[in-house]
């Protein structure tokens, strides 16, 4: 049985005061949830603050990005070791906003996945097609290329040490969600791709869905056999809404 996992990606949102209110609300609202793991990924400057707020709770901490390098003269970069030091368990790798806005290639994403593993973090590898790619009928080719680049870098066995999130780019922040059937179909394809290389990895790795998940559509998405939870953007900024999504898993 794969554990259900819900991760909130705050993106570039928050302030000291807003974070405190949000995290305290989330702790109160999720106190009675069992059987579902919950994580939140605040912006870098607030990781220490949120770590303190989460102390003694089961809610896990994650970061949104990391450097592909380990240490040295890389101005503005943050290493996996630093994130581990700050109490992070997860780190997002290859989010579509990183790929499209900051030019992260499949090769860089694979290097970051390896760097996260090297630092003892659980990388959450994001894959997904654009709307144009879906219309062209190349969704499977795109997600397979994105995933295979990481497999080629770290080896199939080490994929099991990460989490994979399918986030169709056309569904991120648009209010347009993949239907449960569309999402399940891609999750199944990801699992099949893994299974051709290692069945036990395919069976054990958690596959999350992300893209306009809300309180009113979460349950039906999470009920799909190959969907093991969600990566939540906008709806994770409201404690009550995010807790409601967590209860749906
Ligand atoms: P939204 O939930 O705001 O669509 O964002 C999804 C996402 O990008 C999570 O990483």
My answer on whether 85 and 42 are in the same domain is no
Q: Hey, which of 92, 212, 236, 241 would you mutate to test ligand 1's pocket, going by the most ligand atoms within 8 Å of its Cβ? A: 212
> Is 181 marked active-site?
no
Instruction: Residue 70: name the closest of 104, 105, 120, 107 by CA.
Output: 120
Residue 76, domain member (yes or no): yes
Mean pLDDT per 10-residue section of the chain, whose length is 249 residues? 96 98 98 95 98 98 98 98 98 98 98 98 98 98 98 98 98 95 98 98 98 97 98 98 97
Residue 104, domain member (yes or no): yes
- Ligand 1 centroid from CA 234, angstroms: 6
Q: What is the pLDDT of residue 246?
A: 98
Among candidate residues 61, 92, 112, the one where a domain is terminated:
61
Tell me the pTM.
0.98
My answer on whether 72 and 194 are in the same domain is yes
d(CA 241, CA 15): 19
State the residue for tokens 């990924």: 41
- Ligand 1 centroid from CA 169, angstroms: 9
Assign residue 129 the CATH number of its domain.
Answer: 3.20.20.70
> Is 167 marked active-site?
yes
My answer on whether 127 and 11 are in the same domain is no
My answer on whether 172 and 159 are in the same domain is yes
My answer on whether 20 and 110 are in the same domain is no
My answer on whether 74 and 176 are in the same domain is yes
Instruction: Residue 170: name the closest of 178, 162, 160 by CA.
Output: 178
Q: What is the pLDDT of residue 135?
A: 98
- Ligand 1 centroid from CA 73, angstroms: 32
Q: What is the pLDDT of residue 52?
A: 98
Q: Hey, which of 173, 183, 217, 230 would you mutate to test ligand 1's pocket, going by the most ligand atoms within 8 Å of its Cβ? A: 173
Half-sphere exposure of 170 (CA within 13 A, CB side): 13
Residue 88 structure tokens:
């992070």
Distance between first and last Cα of the chain: 14
Q: Hey, which of 39, 167, 209 would you mutate to test ligand 1's pocket, going by the most ligand atoms within 8 Å of its Cβ? A: 167
d(CA 117, CA 123): 7
Instruction: Residue 88: name the closest of 122, 127, 135, 137 by CA.
Output: 122
Neighbours of 197 (CB within 10 A): 14
- Ligand 1 centroid from CA 112, angstroms: 20
Instruction: List, chain by chain if needed, residues with CB within 6 Å of any ligand 1 atom.
Output: 9, 95, 167, 172-173, 210-213, 231-235
Residue 97 CA, closest ligand 1 atom number: 8
Three-class secondary structure of residue 18 per DSSP: helix
Q: Residue 41, exposed/middle/buried by CB under 10 A (0-12, 13-18, 19+)?
A: buried
Q: What is the pLDDT of residue 1?
A: 78
Three-class secondary structure of residue 121 per DSSP: coil
**Count of structural domains within the chain:** 2
Nearest protein CA to atom 2 of ligand 1, as residue: 233
My answer on whether 134 and 185 are in the same domain is yes
- Ligand 1 centroid from CA 172, angstroms: 5
d(CA 247, CA 101): 33
Contact 23, 8 (CB under 8 A): no
Q: Which domain holds residue 94?
A: 65-201
d(CA 52, CA 88): 12
My answer on whether 102 and 124 are in the same domain is yes
Nearest protein CA to atom 5 of ligand 1, as residue: 233
d(CA 213, CA 221): 8
Question: Among 84, 104, 167, 187, which one carries the catalytic annotation?
Answer: 167
Residue 218, domain member (yes or no): no
My answer on whether 1 and 110 are in the same domain is no
My answer on whether 171 and 194 are in the same domain is yes
Q: Which helix (H) or strand (E) holds 90?
A: strand 90-93
My answer on whether 115 and 82 are in the same domain is yes
Residue 126 CA, closest ligand 1 atom number: 10
Among candidate residues 10, 29, 61, the one where a domain is terminated:
61
My answer on whether 56 and 136 are in the same domain is no
d(CA 53, CA 55): 6
Q: What is the pLDDT of residue 161?
A: 98
Residue 210, domain member (yes or no): no
For residue 71, what are the β-bridge partners?
none
Three-class secondary structure of residue 104 per DSSP: coil
Residue 166, domain member (yes or no): yes
Residue 51 structure tokens:
């770590």
């Amino acid at each position: 049985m794969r554990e259900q996992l819900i991760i909130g990606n705050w993106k570039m949102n928050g302030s000291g005061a807003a974070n405190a209110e949000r995290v305290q609300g989330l702790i109160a609202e999720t106190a009675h949830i069992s059987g579902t793991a919950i994580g939140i990924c605040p912006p870098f400057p607030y990781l220490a603050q949120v770590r303190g707020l989460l102390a003694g709770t089961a809610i896990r901490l994650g970061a949104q990005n990391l450097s592909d390098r380990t240490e040295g003269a890389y101005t503005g970069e943050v290493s996996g070791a630093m994130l581990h030091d700050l109490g992070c368990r997860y780190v997002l790798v290859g989010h579509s906003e990183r790929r499209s806005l900051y030019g992260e290639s499949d090769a860089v994403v694979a290097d970051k996945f390896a760097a996260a593993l090297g630092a003892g973090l659980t990388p959450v590898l994001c894959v997904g097609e654009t709307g144009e790619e879906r219309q062209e009928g190349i969704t499977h080719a795109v997600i397979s290329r994105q995933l295979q680049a990481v497999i080629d870098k770290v080896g199939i066995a080490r994929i099991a040490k990460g989490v994979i999130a399918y986030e169709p780019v056309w569904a991120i922040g648009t209010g347009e969600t993949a239907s449960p059937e569309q999402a399940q179909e891609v999750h199944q394809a990801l699992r099949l791709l893994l299974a051709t290389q290692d069945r036990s990895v395919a069976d054990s790795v958690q596959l999350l869905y992300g893209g306009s998940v809300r309180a009113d559509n979460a349950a039906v998405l999470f009920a799909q056999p190959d969907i093991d939870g969600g990566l939540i953007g906008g709806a994770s900024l409201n404690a009550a809404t995010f807790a409601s999504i967590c209860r749906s898993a």
